[in-house]
Amino acid sequence: MHVAVQAIDREIWRDGVASEGTRLIPEETPLALTYNGGTYAVMMGTPQNLEDFAVGFSLDEGIITSVDDIKSLDVVRLDDGIELRMWLEQDNAARISERRRHIAGPTGCGICGIDSIAEAVRPASIVPPGQSFTPQQIMTAMQAIAPLQSINMQTRAVHAAAFWSPSNGIVALREDVGRHNALDKLAGSLARSRTSASAGLVLLTSRVSVEMVQKTAAIGAPVMVAVSAPTALAVRTAAAAGITLIAIARSDGFEVFTHQGRITARRAQEIIDVVA
């Protein structure tokens, strides 16, 4: 059985004394993504929200442009892993051969197996202007993540990616041992529910690498917020894509690396109300 969390017996040493106990730890299993009968990639990940992962991975990789491009999706659980079998419309099938990997990637590896430097640093999609946010909204959004991380509360060993909007709070949150996988799952969840990302924030419990920016751009979110620092390439990519990249987000504040204009002390409507 492929479950997200396993209870494992272990020996514990504390202060020179040994004892025994059980700890909950996250599962890690091979996830094979196949299109029209051929394997494209095998990723290691948490066996949960797999339909979201299949759709989000396909969108973020540029294999499809819409969830409607997938004619069928089956989750096939095998003895040694899980196969996500997708059949695409014929017009989309040609995209597979352009970036077929045929490899096994490490946990949540974002760009494993691509065969050119240009592909690794490909330009991200340009995001729409979106809306502005106050510092309090950003901190409120980040503080809302932890209580919803059910797997991490049990294991303290997985990443999360979430989408927050001013009107609805946390709209979707996905977890995985791989940070890229968590973001792919979030992308798939938003696509399957037909949720536009242009009016909200993508929230990450990990550092920001270039692949995370590329995936956020594919989602169409104008702002991404992370608890850890970004890489220099991630900052340059976010700047070119029109994304506001916020990192090192803590309870007392954060740092804005690109497109600072989306962060305002107060909303325009609040200012109008004060003037009136």
Of the residues 109, 111, 139, 144, which is catalytic?
109
Residue 152 is inside which H or E element, if any?
helix 150-155
**Catalytic residue check, 109:** yes
Q: Are 129 and 243 in contact (CB under 8 A)?
A: no
259 burial (CB, 10 Å; 0-12 / 13-18 / 19+) is buried
Amino acid present at 261: G
Residue 202 is inside which H or E element, if any?
strand 201-204
String of b and e for 6-42 (b: at least 16 CB within 10 Å)? Answer: eeeeeeeeeeeeeeeeeeebbbbbbbbbbbeeebbbb
Any idea which residues carry the catalytic annotation?
A: 109
